[in-house]
Chains A and B, each alone.
Chain A
């Protein structure tokens, strides 16, 4: 169809051409996929009801099989229409009328409207083929239906796309490399010292531990050191890569957060209650399963292992459904409780679910330790007439210490940083504090909010360092008091 119109235009040009556009000048160096096009309107062309279309094609418009309409200009009243300033609209167009150049008026859909008597138009055309030769022409349809196709103009859009600079990873690689080189240097010095001191049997030992140290460098040391560095910067999702050092300001913000004490206190309650319940119930169940005369031990053990065998996110989502007002728990109790909407109820629910999830691991670990205890010790105690409670108090517990101390330490660290139960059950809610953590938030879930919802990476890193220091302090004290490492050894 367009080809027919083009052909018709050519015929009209050759015969009785209507007034149209002329003196087309184009410049393809104004921007990516853009070109400036200016043209004059012949006398009598810009009359009310006339329409101008800019046609584009990648071949000469005289031969074009399918030229495209790029934009449309109407001649008519501009009263009440918007007249966007340069840069305020999608593209910039100016018209000259009565010797005055001004931005064109626009209909709501963006169509340009020119006043009667417009003599020239200049537009920055967008959406042209990138870095290509483009043919442009102006097609005029007079109010009486007479048409005119201007001479076409060729222009090459010469500006290339400006690609976003690839992420500069050199600082990260430099940091990892520095840490790795430091470790290699340390290992070399240690190897040299061994040789000097005559510890020849250690030859090669440093080489053997090098790969593990390298892995630790990349996977553990570097992230921790990077997190610490981030906590001292103003890193933010709106300007990642441009962060600057701001000292301890993020730590000041952490301690000034409303609810800091509340979330820390709930984290401790959450951790202590869970670890105590995990070890308590785990020990109880392990003792029951370890009873000599127990029948169906394997079946019980399998059933008790189920919470551990099912992916925890599925278990948590099922529990969330059970606690909902229309869930099975309300059905069973015949109540209409909305436990997860209440701060206290939600805290209780998340702790219960995590206790349920954590028992199997402790049960299995303690069960293994129990089976390693010498049977003859108990037989001797029985012969001596020592009762069951005293056997547990004075034989089982002291002998389980080597397992319970590291288990409780690990349990504390894991539970302190347990993310998925709270995230999936309540997402930290209900949120009753406008500028702080939700009622069931623990430190680690709140850090997630700060990092990925608020986008404050520096502050989130500071929270992480605080958590890290809390755990280091606890672990250090705990190991000192319990001689945990010696117990393991």
Chain B
């Protein structure tokens, strides 16, 4: 045998010897893994990255895995606003996660979607016992239903409320907001507080989500009892004009304020009041902003209180999941009383578990009890296809009124017509 052939043979043997232990070890590891893990669940959550919510969620998932050693949970974060869209796209590629966190106002968009004739979300009615269901607030449970099917286990709820910085009020000699305030009181106080680089109020005046509560307070509604859009009411137009006037006429809201910039203003003590949800409370607290909360005011003309939209976040099981029982089990765990209590105490997430409404820790927390009071006067977001479609025409209506292209009543009439046309096309 030639020397070169010998060298080749030796090299091949060497390579084979090097690879052999790796192959053997890989097989051994795989066998071990198979024994340890019987079920793998994929979960998509929509908590902000590196937030307290995400940390509590991950700890809850870890506790679940510890209690069920045969279950492995793979967690992925997705943007909250994109959750429904990303889930739909994944499901259409047969890649949906077993469990996904969705908002009740997103369920309407997904509810009608079919892939090869099948819905995307599992109807959880068959998975939950009546005793398990009765643990949740009936409003929350109903909000997770679409077309009769229960599409999620409600784990939290939230709405907007009025937050304020008492130091700025005291410095300006303005009386603190109270539950008895009317919208006129709010504007007057904001006007007194607006001086220099401080604005009286921070809120995104072009954002429909912020407008919904004022619309209800002015006697307007998004839909009638039959689900027909009713955007073109007098109350709706008055509310739209009122919120835009806060920036353009009264000048109490900084020009161009959006959801991110309002946070920055309030955190920098450049805004005395803010209309915001409990999800940002921990951020303000961490920023050492001394803040307090009270109910949103009433509208003097109608006598109605501003009723912000209440949305519910819950855990939904994919219809494509081969592990629906375990996915439901995890959904129930993530919505359980203990996990909801931890979320409430650490992140001010408002619970949906009825027993927690009476829980001492919750009742004694000014923040949680204050926001729960606000929730009780809020308007639950309807879980309909139309709710998912209402934002687009409203964005256009707001842009037109803000830009001075149309009056509020004209813009809302066109928005109503556009929504009805969209609904007709969708049906």
Known contacts A91-B130, A167-B116, A238-B113: does B254 contact A434 (CB below 8 Å)? no
Known contacts A68-B131, A237-B88, A326-B256: does B325 contact A130 (CB below 8 Å)? yes
CB-based closest 6 A-B pairs:
A325-B256, A127-B129, A71-B130, A167-B94, A241-B116, A434-B418
Instruction: List 5 A-B residue pairs with CB atoms under 8 Å apart, sorted by A's residue number.
Output: A130-B325, A163-B322, A164-B118, A237-B92, A336-B255
Provide the main secondary structure of the chain A interface. Answer: loop
Known contacts A90-B125, A110-B130, A238-B112: does B405 contact A432 (CB below 8 Å)? yes
In the complex, the answer to whether B126 meets A110 with C-beta atoms within 8 Å is no
Known contacts A163-B320, A242-B117: does B133 contact A430 (CB below 8 Å)? no
Q: B395 — which chain A residues lie within 8 A by C-beta? A: 429, 431
B319 contacts the other chain (CB 8 A): yes
- Which A residues are within 8 Å of any B CB, using their own CB? 31-34, 56, 68-72, 87-88, 90-91, 108-112, 125-128, 130, 161, 163-168, 237-242, 324-326, 336, 338, 340-343, 429-435, 452-453, 455
B367 contacts the other chain (CB 8 A): no
Q: A455 — which chain B residues lie within 8 A by C-beta? A: 88, 113
Q: B397 — which chain A residues lie within 8 A by C-beta? A: 434
Provide the bound-state CA to CA distance between A254 and B393, in Å.
Answer: 19
Interface centre among B115, B130, B131 (most CB of A within 10 A): B130
Provide the bound-state CA to CA distance between A488 and B115, in Å.
Answer: 48
In the complex, the answer to whether B85 meets A452 with C-beta atoms within 8 Å is yes
Q: B254 — which chain A residues lie within 8 A by C-beta? A: 325-326
In the complex, the answer to whether A239 meets B393 with C-beta atoms within 8 Å is no
B399 contacts the other chain (CB 8 A): yes
Within the complex, what minimum Cβ distance (angstroms) separates B245 from chain A? 16
B261 contacts the other chain (CB 8 A): yes
In the complex, the answer to whether A70 meets B418 with C-beta atoms within 8 Å is no
Closest to B320 in A: A164
In the complex, the answer to whether B396 meets A434 with C-beta atoms within 8 Å is yes
Among B85, B113, B138, B421, the residue within 8 A (CB) of A109 is B138
Q: B426 — which chain A residues lie within 8 A by C-beta? A: 238
Provide the main secondary structure of the chain B interface. Answer: helix
In the complex, the answer to whether A87 meets B148 with C-beta atoms within 8 Å is yes
In the complex, the answer to whether B256 meets A110 with C-beta atoms within 8 Å is no
Within the complex, what minimum Cβ distance (angstroms) separates B41 from chain A? 15
In the complex, the answer to whether A241 meets B115 with C-beta atoms within 8 Å is yes
Provide the bound-state CA to CA distance between A33 and B132, in Å.
Answer: 14
Within the complex, what minimum Cβ distance (angstroms) separates A289 from chain B? 39
In the complex, the answer to whether A324 meets B256 with C-beta atoms within 8 Å is yes
Interface centre among B128, B138, B254, B256 (most CB of A within 10 A): B256
B150 contacts the other chain (CB 8 A): yes
Q: B117 — which chain A residues lie within 8 A by C-beta? A: 239, 241-242
B354 contacts the other chain (CB 8 A): yes
Interface centre among B125, B354, B417, B418 (most CB of A within 10 A): B125
Known contacts A110-B130, A324-B256: does B403 contact A343 (CB below 8 Å)? yes
Number of interface residues of B (CB under 8 A): 55
Beyond the given A127-B130, A324-B261, A343-B403, please list 15 additional residue pairs across the A-B interface where CB-CB is below 8 A: A70-B130, A108-B138, A110-B134, A111-B130, A164-B320, A165-B118, A167-B92, A239-B117, A240-B92, A338-B255, A341-B403, A433-B396, A434-B414, A434-B415, A455-B113
Instruction: Give the residues from 133 to 161 in chain B that come closer than 8 angstroms, CB to CB, to chain A.
Output: 133-134, 138, 141, 148, 150
Provide the bound-state CA to CA distance between A70 and B94, in Å.
Answer: 34
Provide the bound-state CA to CA distance between A130 and B329, in Å.
Answer: 12
Within the complex, what minimum Cβ distance (angstroms) separates A132 from chain B? 10
Within the complex, what minimum Cβ distance (angstroms) separates B386 from chain A? 14
B68 contacts the other chain (CB 8 A): no
Known contacts A126-B126, A241-B115, A434-B414: does B405 contact A326 (CB below 8 Å)? no
Closest to A124 in B: B126
Provide the bound-state CA to CA distance between A165 and B128, in Å.
Answer: 24
Among A111, A125, A336, the residue within 8 A (CB) of B134 is A111
Provide the bound-state CA to CA distance between A240 and B118, in Å.
Answer: 10
Provide the bound-state CA to CA distance between A91 and B128, in Å.
Answer: 10
Closest to B197 in A: A326
Q: A338 — which chain B residues lie within 8 A by C-beta? A: 255-256
In the complex, the answer to whether A126 meets B127 with C-beta atoms within 8 Å is yes
Instruction: Give the residues from 297 to 344 in chain B that come closer than 8 angstroms, CB to CB, to chain A.
Output: 319-320, 322, 324-325
Provide the bound-state CA to CA distance between A338 and B404, in Å.
Answer: 14
Q: B400 — which chain A residues lie within 8 A by C-beta? A: 432
Instruction: Give the residues from 352 to 409 in chain B that come closer than 8 angstroms, CB to CB, to chain A.
Output: 354, 392-393, 395-397, 399-400, 402-403, 405
Provide the bound-state CA to CA distance between A239 and B255, in Å.
Answer: 43
Within the complex, what minimum Cβ distance (angstroms) separates B343 from chain A? 22
B93 contacts the other chain (CB 8 A): yes
Provide the bound-state CA to CA distance between A432 and B88, in Å.
Answer: 28
In the complex, the answer to whether A242 meets B116 with C-beta atoms within 8 Å is yes
Q: B114 — which chain A residues lie within 8 A by C-beta? A: 238-240, 242
In the complex, the answer to whether A429 meets B133 with C-beta atoms within 8 Å is no
In the complex, the answer to whether A90 meets B130 with C-beta atoms within 8 Å is yes
Closest to A108 in B: B138
Closest to B322 in A: A163
In the complex, the answer to whether A72 meets B130 with C-beta atoms within 8 Å is yes
Interface string of B250-294 (1 = CB under 8 A from A): 000011101001000000000000000000000000000000000
Q: A452 — which chain B residues lie within 8 A by C-beta? A: 85, 89
Provide the bound-state CA to CA distance between A431 and B393, in Å.
Answer: 9
Closest to A427 in B: B395
Interface centre among A68, A165, A336 (most CB of B within 10 A): A165
In the complex, the answer to whether B421 meets A435 with C-beta atoms within 8 Å is yes
Provide the bound-state CA to CA distance between A227 and B85, in Å.
Answer: 20
Provide the bound-state CA to CA distance between A112 and B129, in Å.
Answer: 13
Closest to B392 in A: A453
In the complex, the answer to whether A435 meets B256 with C-beta atoms within 8 Å is no
Known contacts A109-B354, A126-B126, A434-B393: does B131 contact A71 (CB below 8 Å)? yes
Q: B133 — which chain A residues lie within 8 A by C-beta? A: 90, 109-110
Known contacts A238-B114, A239-B114, A324-B256: does B126 contact A34 (CB below 8 Å)? yes
Within the complex, what minimum Cβ distance (angstroms) separates A349 from chain B? 13
Closest to B86 in A: A452
Provide the bound-state CA to CA distance between A459 and B117, in Å.
Answer: 20
In the complex, the answer to whether A127 meets B126 with C-beta atoms within 8 Å is yes
Within the complex, what minimum Cβ distance (angstroms) separates B34 from chain A? 22
Provide the bound-state CA to CA distance between A53 and B392, in Å.
Answer: 48
In the complex, the answer to whether A325 meets B255 with C-beta atoms within 8 Å is yes
Within the complex, what minimum Cβ distance (angstroms) separates B54 from chain A? 22
Provide the bound-state CA to CA distance between A91 and B397, in Å.
Answer: 42
In the complex, the answer to whether A161 meets B94 with C-beta atoms within 8 Å is no
Within the complex, what minimum Cβ distance (angstroms) separates B413 from chain A? 10
Within the complex, what minimum Cβ distance (angstroms) separates A164 from chain B? 4
Q: B258 — which chain A residues lie within 8 A by C-beta? A: 324
Provide the bound-state CA to CA distance between A91 and B150, in Å.
Answer: 11
Provide the bound-state CA to CA distance between A161 and B324, in Å.
Answer: 8
Provide the bound-state CA to CA distance between A130 and B261, in Å.
Answer: 50
Provide the bound-state CA to CA distance between A158 and B287, in Å.
Answer: 57
Provide the bound-state CA to CA distance between A163 and B421, in Å.
Answer: 35
Provide the bound-state CA to CA distance between A72 and B114, in Å.
Answer: 36
Q: A128 — which chain B residues lie within 8 A by C-beta? A: 129
In the complex, the answer to whether B92 meets A71 with C-beta atoms within 8 Å is no
Provide the bound-state CA to CA distance between A127 and B421, in Å.
Answer: 40
Provide the bound-state CA to CA distance between A167 and B89, in Å.
Answer: 13
Known contacts A88-B148, A164-B319, A167-B94: does B399 contact A432 (CB below 8 Å)? yes
Interface centre among A88, A110, A326, A336 (most CB of B within 10 A): A326
In the complex, the answer to whether B418 meets A435 with C-beta atoms within 8 Å is yes
Provide the bound-state CA to CA distance between A112 and B133, in Å.
Answer: 13
